[in-house]
Every structure is written in C-alpha cells, then in structure tokens.
Amino acid sequence: MQREQLADFLRRRREAIRPAEVGIADGPRRRTAGLRREEVAMLAGMSVDYVVRLEQGRSSQPSTQLLGALARALRLTDDERSHLFHLAGHQPPPADGIARLARAGLVRLLDLVGDTPAMVLSDLGEVLAQNRMSILLTGDHTGLTGDRRYVAYRYFTDPAIRDLHGPEEWQRHARQQVADLRAVAGRRAGDPAVTSLIERLRAASDDFRRLWAEHEVAVRRADRKTFLHPRVGRITMDCETLVTPDLGQQLLVLTPADAEARQKLELLRVLGVEEFPAAVPH
C-alpha cells in the first residue's frame, strides 16, 4: 500500500470535482476547492474521520468495497479507478466487476426518491444498488453471485418466479427480458460478458432458446408488474426505467398502480424489515 501516493491522489481528485457534478449545490459562500471531506464521506457511505485519515496517509488498508465506494463518489474514470486500487495494494476488479459499480449520481437519486421503491441495474440486469423501499418490496438482490445476479437468468431458471405470476404475465415479461437482452447484445457486439451469458441461458432454458430465436428487440422503458409479497400479498406496480446516456446503467423506479397498491406499500413501509423472508424475484 502506497499511503502517501494514495493520500495525494484522493485529495487531488476530491479538489477537482465540482459539487454540481454529484448533485450538491455550489453556494456563494463555498471556499473549498471541489468537494468537502464530509461530502465525500456522505457520497461514499463512510465516516468523515476515515476520509481524513486516508488523505493524511494514516489509515489502515481500505477494503475493495470501500475503494469501490470512493471511486463512485469521486467519479473516477476506469483508469483512475485501477490506479486507486493499485495505490491501496489491491488488484483492480475485472472489467465486468467495474461495470457493476453503481454510479454515484444514481445512488444519490435512490435517496432522493424517498419512500418510492427504486434500484440501479446494469444493462445486463444486475441489481447494483437499492433503496430501503425497494428492499422491502423485492428483497435485497445486491448480494447475489454467479449467474443468479442476472435478472434474466433467474427469470428463466428459477421455477419459483413462474409461481409468482400467471402464465400470461410470465410469458409477457419473459419475452421482454429476451428482447431487452437482444438490444444489449447488438449494442455490445463481441463483448464476452454478454455472449457468454447468452450461451449459458441458451443451454439452461428451452424457453429462452425459443424466444431468442425469434430475434425480437426492444429496450425496456415503462412496464407494469405484479409482485406477490409474502407479507402483504399482491402489489401491482408501474415501472419506469431511466437510462444513462451510454445505456450502461438504469434507474428503475416503481410506483403503485392503484389505491390498493399504495395502501399495501404504506403497510410494508410501516412493517419494515423485521423477520423479512427470502428475496422476492422481480
């Protein structure tokens, strides 16, 4: 670990960011160049004291999770992120791991939407970040590993998901999953992360293989879904998808489709996470 170089790099990157780039108002009385340490701490989800110790070269070796959070907060490029990991004595995550870091601005939006369920997904359908209401509604999907981290893979290989929807609704959403993945495959032609996922899905699911052969293409933007929640029953939600300019990440916002759904969502908010059961597929 190169403490002095790490401290200098973090300090200079913090001073180079304009507050407006991360959604912070740049008031007339601001004297600090770039972000304040407490603002970096807030964006990265760590203590101000730890940020201070990092910048003064007095910290213990940061974990890869903390480095990822700092990279998001400081809006580092891929090269800068790799440099950060090297300075801290870690190997940078592989390319697909880097892509699975939710962008700092999208993470901030999760907090701003308050009690509205929302999550950040990669273009391959990996849940990168969720707010509290999203976890209450669908369960925590951020810790899934292997192929289960992909929504499409779970949709076609987990029988429990079929049980949560009627046959017509499952077929409609399955078709949408495939059409969206087809659009990603066209946009990221030759990307091994995409092609290998498609091949594994073709091998694992006859339904996927059949739908893939139809060559339908459609990027998901708006939708309506029914969630069968183990505590409050069926909740119908409208889904709005906002994408980043490069289409690499999406912000999915879920709003109640009717008065009954609003009441159930409010009940779920009050019940909280106590004795929350297994994650609900979405």
195 against 68, higher pLDDT: 195
Whether this model's pTM surpasses 0.85: no
* Arithmetic mean of pLDDT, 202-220: 91
pLDDT > 70 fraction of the chain, expressed in percent and rounded:
87
Other Cβ atoms closer than 10 A to 231:
14
Q: Does residue 101 sit in helix, strand or coil?
A: coil
* Arithmetic mean of pLDDT, 98-116: 78
Answer yes or no: are the C-beta atoms of 276 and 136 closer than 8 Å. yes
Pinpoint the alpha helices (H) of 102-258: 104-112, 132-138, 151-157, 159-163, 167-187, 192-204, 206-213
Is residue 94 exposed (0-12), middle (13-18) or buried (19+ Cβ within 10 Å)?
exposed
CB half-sphere exposure, 221, CA atoms < 13 A: 3
Answer yes or no: are the C-beta atoms of 153 and 145 closer than 8 Å. no
Supply the pLDDT for residue 157. Answer: 92
Tokens of 180: 């969206």
Give me the residue label for tokens 């009690």. Answer: 115
The secondary structure element, H or E, covering residue 118 is: strand 118-122
Q: Does the pLDDT value for residue 276 go beyond 80?
A: no
* Arithmetic mean of pLDDT, 160-168: 70
Supply the pLDDT for residue 215. Answer: 94
Is residue 246 exposed (0-12), middle (13-18) or buried (19+ Cβ within 10 Å)?
exposed
